[in-house]
Amino acid sequence: MLLHAKSARLATWTLLAAALLLLVAAPLLVTFMAAFAGSWNGVLPAAPTLRHVAGALAADNFSSLVVSLQTAVFASLLAVLLGTWAAVCSASAAASPGLARLADAVFHLPAAVPSVVVGLGLLTAFSKPPLLLNGTVAIVVVAQSMLVLAFAYSTVSAAARGQDPMVALAAASLGASQLRVLLTVRLPLLLPAIAAAAGLAVALCMGELGATVMVYPASWRTLPVTVFALVDRGALFDAAANTLVLLAVTVAVLAVIAKCRGNSAVR
């Protein structure tokens, strides 16, 4: 920053800190306080209690958490698998830039489409035979996969295009088949990007509401849907407690992925 006066620098930093505090920290902080509040009538919450958090971890809501985790993991796996596959293929198609551009457009489309539209589209498409997915767990997984596929694809494809094509060619010249080159050279070198894509996908899936709320069957209610329902009923403190659990679990999953990613990057 091109500010030389100490006071000016101080003022700028203070302003920035205040803005960040208001926009980012305040909602999180309030959620955190609300999760432990017995009542909140004044400026600060009163009668601290663990009742809401305990409720969030009790049988019914806990199953929501497990559902969320399972959905996020499966949806992310599917999205990363498809995204990586597509990214590797489109990076290999460097000779035909038209094809690569088409792949880019197709795989980025879901990111541009509102999640509600994705939900509605899936409901309309799969509510009648031959492919009847409405009311199944699969439709939730498919919806979330579709939404994060664009992010998985673009993360991996940026890395795949940055790869030196000579490395794979050198492997081929040494007598390795295409499959061997893919498994022993190209994919291992993409591992950090794949791990990053997986982390992003899980984080996005864990919080997905727009499409999920349209397609979820009663037996498969994710945590964000539960939170939404609680807010709808006016149970704000319970909602806050569930949000806190969601946040904690997401951060934990991301930490695990980051650990794997660190290991893969060191190699």
Contact region with other proteins (CB under 8 A), list: 72-80, 135-143, 172-180, 204-212: 172-180
Q: Which two tokens stand for residue 216?
A: 């979820």
Burial class (CB in 10 A: 0-12, 13-18, 19+), 187: middle
Which listed residue (23, 44, 112, 174) binds other proteins by CB under 8 A? 174
- Rule CB under 8 A: which of 176-215 touch other proteins? 176-178, 180, 184-185, 188-189
For residues 214 and 162, what is the distance between their CA atoms, to the nearest angstrom? 38
In the complex with other proteins, the residue whose CB is nearer, 81 or 172, is: 172
- Rule CB under 8 A: which of 1-20 touch other proteins? none
- Rule CB under 8 A: which of 108-167 touch other proteins? 164, 166-167
Which listed residue (169, 252, 255, 256) binds other proteins by CB under 8 A? 169
Q: Which CA distances in Å does 219 have to 116, 157, 171, 215, 216? A: 21, 36, 50, 12, 8
For residue 43, the tally of other CB atoms under 10 A from its CB is 5
Q: Which two tokens stand for residue 59?
A: 């049988």
Note whether 267 binds other proteins by CB under 8 A.
yes
What minimum distance in Å lies between the beta carbon of 264 and other proteins? 9
Q: Which two tokens stand for residue 84?
A: 């990586």
Q: Which residues form the interface with other proteins (CB under 8 A)?
A: 164, 166-167, 169-178, 180, 184-185, 188-189, 267
